[in-house]
Amino acid sequence: MIFKTLNNWGIISTFKIILGEIYCYFFETKFKFKKINNINTFDHLPTPLFILKEIEEFLINQKLYNSIIVDVGSGSGRFICYMQKRKFQKIIGIENDDILFKCAINNIKKNNLDKKKIKLINKDVFDFKFPKKTKVIYIFNPFNKLNTIKFISKIHKSLKNDVFIIYVTPIFLKEFRKKGYKIFYKRIIKKNRGYVILKN
């Protein structure tokens, strides 16, 4: 796995990822990660800690502490656990895979997080109705190209207000640009690894 990470992320970022995981193990959230074999996912990995810290700074700078944040394809719950531990108030996780959903629930329990401020939903995002006051959507590239296009159409129709989309490993960024989403911030490291922040 480390050789694949080296190839995908490069030496410096891989070193940051390893240091981040060591730090998380001893000082951060108590986190158990589940690996699944799904050909429709790009990288099923927990979001690297250094990226989470940058996203946290962005959310704070934009004064989004009390806004609704939706994690689409929330996986084992790394993003949710990290952000709720930093007192973000309204986080919704959508995960279709039963194994990952149960893993995320266990991770939330292990970290004694405020369950009133977290909502985990085990369903397909295309069957999910986004709250009208959603301000942030977080995705770690959970879709193939066809479903990415379908997802963009869904949020474009569902959310008319200003919404930030934080897109980690943005392999299908062009599809968002075609629909008029503008790049608010971009940090690409190698081979689409990194993230962009988009705004409609």
Q: Tell me the per-residue pLDDT of 141-157, one tens digit each, with 9 for 90 and over.
A: 889 999 999 999 999 88
More confident residue, 76 or 94: 94
pLDDT band at 184 (very low <50, low <70, confident <90, very high): very high
Report whether 51 contacts 195 (CB < 8 A): yes
Task: Specify the pLDDT at position 123.
Answer: 95
Interval 19-30: pLDDT, tens? 666 656 555 655
Strands (E), 2-121: 68-72, 90-94, 118-121
Region 2-199: CATH code: 3.40.50.150
180 phi/psi in degrees, rounded to 5: 95, 5
- β-pairing, 134-139 with 68-72? parallel
| pLDDT(163) > 80 | yes
Helical (H) or strand (E) element with 11: helix 11-27
41-65 tens-digit pLDDT: 445 567 888 889 999 999 999 999 8
Q: Which residue has the higher pLDDT, 133 or 4?
A: 133
DSSP-assigned letter for residue 165: E
What are the structural domain ranges in the chain? 2-199
Of 105, 135, 144, which Cα lies nearest the Cα of 122? 105
What the block records as the tokens of 121 is: 């939903």
